[in-house]
Structure 1
Amino acid sequence: MRNDTPKPKATDLRTWLAHLQTTGRLAVIREGVPLKHRLAAIAKRLDGKQAAYFPKPAGHTIPVVSGFVSKRGWIAEAMGVEQDGLLAAFRHAAEHPLPWREVASSEAPCQQVVTPMDASKDLNTMLPIPTHSEHDNGPYITAGLVIARNPATGVQNVSINRIQVHGRDRMAILMLPRHLLAFYKAAEAEGQALDVAVVIGADPLTLLASQAITPIDHDELEIAGALHGAPLPVVKCTTNAVRVPANAEIVIEGRLLPQVREAEGPFGEFPKYYSAQEKREVIVVDAVTTRTNPIFHTIVPAEMEHLLLGSIPREATMLAHLQRSFPGVTDVHLSVGGVGRYHLFVKFRKAREGEPKNVILGAFGAHYDIKQVIVVDDDVDVHDPQQVEWAVATRFQADRDLIVISGAQGSVLDPSTTVATGHHDIDEPAPPHLQGVGAKMGLDATRPVSYRGYIFTKVRIPGELEIDLAQEIVPGAAVDWHGVGLQ
């Protein structure tokens, strides 16, 4: 996006969807699309091309939208920056959060309609919750921001968790070993439920902020405010003290119950495989609040919206982490082929031999999800997998440039770690101390600091980058192939 292009104001979901519609990037689907499989299938076919808007899915009065941040450039556009400034802008927001601004319920669109849960209410009919993949065990909320308060400090945490709706007012949730689970365990140790809110239909920048990698007791809604350039308006829930984005579409208020576990899964996750069914923690719903005529957001698992929301904040964090120790690091990229989590490409300006191996080790220490690191020189575009593969093909030798680390903690959602530990029976999951344990691999695909002649000089043609093809190609011209001349 050019610097003089008006910057869209993605202050809420509707503003952003209107912008996508006026720029031809939102497809309105026919009414009545089934919520089971069909809706997700259509959204997947449009993935990265257009957002999909489903009016009256399965006859439901609430529409569903998906895929509105399914391209890297769209996310940069929502932030009002050029694509190459995306990581720097996110990093600046994460390092300079803005405290949120609390508003009254009367000023909060997300509480225009308040519905307390009782025996006559059922989430499955109140909300249009899709079933996405073939073997998913029922309908799932996949784009819900789960917000909870630290029982000890009151500071909030925001995350996106998969949530299976399997009862009238009950939902099973997957919590990985991060801040939300720490809050829950602290409350459970005291025999207390943990108050939570599940926010559906947040704006793109608040969605992105929810995925920031921060220390505990850093409220991601403050990062959202920094991304917006103004404190985020929030409102107190109607049944608990959790604060939620006031401009959201839908809020489910509830409690994570202590000492209660119910079956959840299988579910098609971001590695493009199914997670096994296991006993998970349970949310009981106390109330649902919405805008008038709300919009339900769903993320199609393992597609670009899912992968980018996770990868871009991680990239910003990884870049900041590596640059503190290695100033020669100029860019990083979590590849789509590596599901936006596991494979990291690092662009590095090497000054001494051996440095890339230190960079590799630093990257593994930055986040346990990282499974493979490839370090390339600064003449390689880490956002182009073909260039990275070229660097490996021509600058890497396995006997001297490969690092393998065995028995390291990785992602518990990586199915290859389950097989490696011998626990691949759906009825017998690996014990917690073995979940996610596997190997990590680093590749130093950099050229030597010193080399003879042009042996490692990248081939270029002078002036190739400055060519303006519009000035060089003759429009409408054709060749007379008999006389071999221009017609």
Structure 2
Amino acid sequence: MSETQSTVTDLRSALALLEQYGDELIETNEPVDPIAELSGVYRYVGAHGTVQRPTRVGPAMMFNKVKGYDDMRVVIGVLSSRKRVARLFGTSEEQLAFMLKDAVDKPIAPIVVPREQAACQEVVHLATDPGFDILKILPAPTNTPEDAGPYFTLGMCYAADPETGEHDVTIHRLCVQSKDEISMYFVPGRHLDTFRMKAEAAGKALPISISIGVDPAIEIGACFEPPTTPLGFDELSIAGGLRNKAVELVDCLSVNARGIANAEVVIEGELVPNYRVREDQNTDTGKAMPEFPGYTGEAKAAVPVIKVKAITHRKHPILQTCIGPSDEHTNMAGIPTEASILQMVERALPGFVQNVHCPSPGTGKYLAVLQVKKRTPADEGRQRQAALLAFSAFSELKHVILVDEDVELFDMNDVMWAMTTRYQGDISTVFIPGVRCHPLDPSSDPAFSPSIRDHGIACKTIFDCTVPWALKANFQRSQFLEVDVNRFIPGFTQ
């Protein structure tokens, strides 16, 4: 276990680690408006991802003064660089997916601690208190001027199956609708939605907690999906495996649910049965918020509602947020996807796939680059089998690019070079039409192509940019002399 694994236990210890580096965390005392201005600043500073240019890879940013809030800071971009994620886990960028795969294989279940040990309950606001208002307590950012409203974008939503008692944690689009109501958008198939539907069918509310500002291991672990983590698998146990220490939970004060004990903020509430609201009922913009593909999502006509019963938080709390299309999403979604694909293909084709990368242009969900090593003539064709396994490992994947072991899959310039010199469209492309993908891809719609039967269905595609085994000798890259550059440039990193 690395020193980082043992020292990072919550958001504050993660930020303390980043402060040891000169380029990972900056802060400002300039007052910022949470309505559009905060995200507008970070768009330039470090969002990157699918955010409209100009943007860049940059440090995380702490806003120490938020207009309208005397004792609340906001941090953004904690996970918006792959190098920063690697530093938070004490590993290299190339080994992150392998580390997560091992954590899935060796999970450590969460534990419940007494309330007196829960930092998240140092300050308590009950919905029955006079003047209770979510937005008077928490500066939920409005990402753009056309958003449906203020959103919590990094809330770890934790609930239990009302029939089995099994727990799950996921991240959802949460819009503040009133002083004590938050709408919750579910992409079809999410486990918490299954729990909600079971409770609703029985005419009951589903108790839920929303923990904000936690150990990054929890945020990464929460983004695993089936089949790697099937219904009933508590993703908090992946965070336990990553840190080699159980995640600590605490019983909520107002509902029969559990929150993350050392979170900065915990919102307690219940998903109300048979109650829906229009997501943009307060603004009538028709838009929701910026989503990971780079477009602003459509406001939904009828979304479930959480009735908030209490908000608890640490003293001098830090609200954590992210920009939907930023690399923060790419890393949270993409690295678990890489780990899931590695797990699947290693079982079927041991030693064949060398690494997997879900790069920023692919949003972490839609594109995976698989680096393979053909060792014998019998391996020809297995690269395409590996691509099919990748689609099975992560159902929302849309494109797979296959490259050889001499291609640096973390360098998209090198990947595009392989597509330019080792790919012919008519024989190197495999189309798999009519497969369910993700509803937030605007091109996955009948209006885009008559071949698409329904919104959210896509043509999945394999781009085979590998050299045929019989032609290997004709595709050798130029080999330069190995030299010690430090002789010429002291301190140079090769």
8 A contact 1:71–1:305 mirrored in 2:
yes
For the residue of structure 2 that corresponds to 1:337, the secondary structure is: helix
Q: Which residue of 2 is the match for residue 60 of structure 1?
A: 69
2:339 and 2:401 mapped to 1: Cα distance?
17
For the residue of structure 2 that corresponds to 1:255, the secondary structure is: strand
8 A contact 1:10–1:205 mirrored in 2:
no
Range moving further from structure 2, 114-123 or 135-144: 114-123
Q: 1:7-406 to 2 correspondence within 5 Å?
A: 9-24=7-22, 25-47=24-46, 48-61=57-70, 62-118=72-128, 120-176=131-187, 177-213=189-225, 214-264=229-279, 265-278=287-300, 279-327=302-350, 328-350=352-374, 351=376, 352-406=379-433
2:110 and 2:334 mapped to 1: Cα distance?
25
Of 439, 456, 460 in structure 2, the residue corresponding to residue 440 of structure 1 is 460
Runs of 4+ in 1 over 6 A off after TM superposition: 3-8
CA drift at 1:49: 1.9
- Check 1:310–1:406 CA distance in 2 against 1; reply closer, same or farther (3 A cut): same
Structure 1: 5+ residue stretches without partners? 424-429, 476-487
- Check 1:474–1:180 CA distance in 2 against 1; reply closer, same or farther (3 A cut): closer
Amino acid at match of 1:406: P
Higher relative contact order, chain-length normalized (CA < 8 Å, sep 6+): 2
CA drift at 1:83: 2.7
Amino acid at match of 2:484: D
Q: What per-residue deviation string (whole Å, max 9, x for no partner) do you get for residues 424-476 of structure 1?
A: xxxxxx9xx92301211111111111237x4211112131xxx332312489x
Of 477, 485, 493 in structure 2, the residue corresponding to residue 458 of structure 1 is 477
For the residue of structure 2 that corresponds to 1:434, the secondary structure is: coil
1:95 and 1:4 mapped to 2: Cα distance?
18
1:355 and 1:77 mapped to 2: Cα distance?
34
CA drift at 1:263: 1.3
8 A contact 1:8–1:78 mirrored in 2:
no
2:332 and 2:439 mapped to 1: Cα distance?
19
Calculate percent identity across the aligned residue pairs: 34
2:20 and 2:432 mapped to 1: Cα distance?
50
Q: What per-residue deviation string (whole Å, max 9, x for no partner) do you get for residues 132-164 of structure 1?
A: 024211110001001010111111110111101
Please give the TM-score of this superposition, normalised by the length of structure 1.
Answer: 0.90
CA drift at 1:6: 6.8
1:26 and 1:461 mapped to 2: Cα distance?
38
CA drift at 1:7: 6.4
Superposed CA RMSD in Å reads: 2.1
Range moving further from structure 2, 72-81 or 106-115: 72-81
1:312 and 1:299 mapped to 2: Cα distance?
17
Amino acid at match of 1:146: C
1:473 and 1:364 mapped to 2: Cα distance?
45
Provide the aligned length of Structure 1 versus Structure 2. 461
Q: Which residue of 2 is the match for residue 471 of structure 1?
A: 487
Q: What per-residue deviation string (whole Å, max 9, x for no partner) do you get for residues 324-361 of structure 1?
A: 21221111111111111101110111243322222222
1:183 and 1:474 mapped to 2: Cα distance?
59
2:97 and 2:33 mapped to 1: Cα distance?
38
2:401 and 2:319 mapped to 1: Cα distance?
39
For the residue of structure 2 that corresponds to 1:166, the secondary structure is: strand
8 A contact 2:260–2:266 mirrored in 1:
no
1:441 and 1:353 mapped to 2: Cα distance?
19
8 A contact 2:330–2:359 mirrored in 1:
no
Please give the TM-score of this superposition, normalised by the length of structure 2.
Answer: 0.89
CA drift at 1:421: 6.5
CA drift at 1:93: 1.0
1:360 and 1:438 mapped to 2: Cα distance?
16
8 A contact 2:181–2:306 mirrored in 1:
yes
For the residue of structure 1 that corresponds to 2:342, the secondary structure is: helix
2:457 and 2:489 mapped to 1: Cα distance?
56
2:380 and 2:18 mapped to 1: Cα distance?
48
8 A contact 2:403–2:465 mirrored in 1:
yes
Amino acid at match of 1:276: E
1:397 and 1:280 mapped to 2: Cα distance?
45
1:5 and 1:211 mapped to 2: Cα distance?
24
1:147 and 1:200 mapped to 2: Cα distance?
11
CA drift at 1:85: 2.2
8 A contact 2:5–2:243 mirrored in 1:
no
Q: Which residue of 1 is the match for residue 53 of structure 2?
A: none
Amino acid at match of 1:137: A
Amino acid at match of 1:461: F
Please tell me whether Structure 1 or Structure 2 has the larger radius of gyration of its CA atoms: 1
Q: Which residue of 2 is the match for residue 478 of structure 1?
A: none
1:4 and 1:125 mapped to 2: Cα distance?
41
8 A contact 1:8–1:80 mirrored in 2:
no
